[in-house]
Amino acid sequence: MVIAHTGLRVPQSMHTATVAFYAVALAPLGYTKALSLFNDSVVGFADADGTVDWWVSVAQDGVAQGGHTAFRAKDRATVDRFYEAAISAGAKDNGKPGPRPYSGPHYYGAYVFDPAGNNIEAVTEKPE
């Protein structure tokens, strides 16, 4: 990931479910749960090279801050596996895997809403 790290803040009531969701949904992208801090209120996920760059933490005010994050996938099959894993983990569809020509000639992405309502995407721009 070019960004050093990023993440989401979710209400305490959704934290455990959201962490469990990402453990399943991000597995096809090479991510694993790697670090837990402050009595599990901050959880870090590491990519395949061991860099902890995705965090899920409890929102101090109890309100999810939401947002959109796109994870880079190595190819279209990986985007498809992300989508399938996310849906099986309880995500809601926000755009099935497919070309997005308005975003670029080789842009292929899939979108889901996580348990806290954040818009999460997996994308590749490698030609088929």
Domain that holds residue 62: 6-124
Q: Find the range with the poorest average confidence among 2-6, 12-16, 24-28, 103-107.
A: 2-6
Mean pLDDT, all residues of the chain: 90
Provide the pLDDT for residue 64.
65
Rounded to an integer, the average pLDDT of 92-120 is 92
Per-residue model confidence as pLDDT tens digits over 54-97: 999 998 776 666 778 889 999 999 999 999 999 999 999 999 99
Query: How many structural domains are present in the chain?
Result: 1
Q: Examine residue 51 and state whether it is found in any structural domain, yes or no.
A: yes
pTM of the shown model: 0.77
CATH, residue 104: 3.10.180.10
Quick one: tokens of 127?
A: 């030609």
DSSP sequence for 56-117: EEE-TTS-----EEEEE-SSHHHHHHHHHHHHHTT-EEEEEEEE-GGG-TT-EEEEEE-TT-
For helices 12-25 and 76-88, give the axis angle rounded to 10 degrees. Answer: 140
Q: Examine residue 105 and state whether it is found in any structural domain, yes or no.
A: yes
Backbone φ and ψ of 106, nearest 5°? -120, 10
Give percent of the chain with pLDDT exceeding 70: 93
Q: Examine residue 1 and state whether it is found in any structural domain, yes or no.
A: no
Rounded to an integer, the average pLDDT of 34-58 is 92
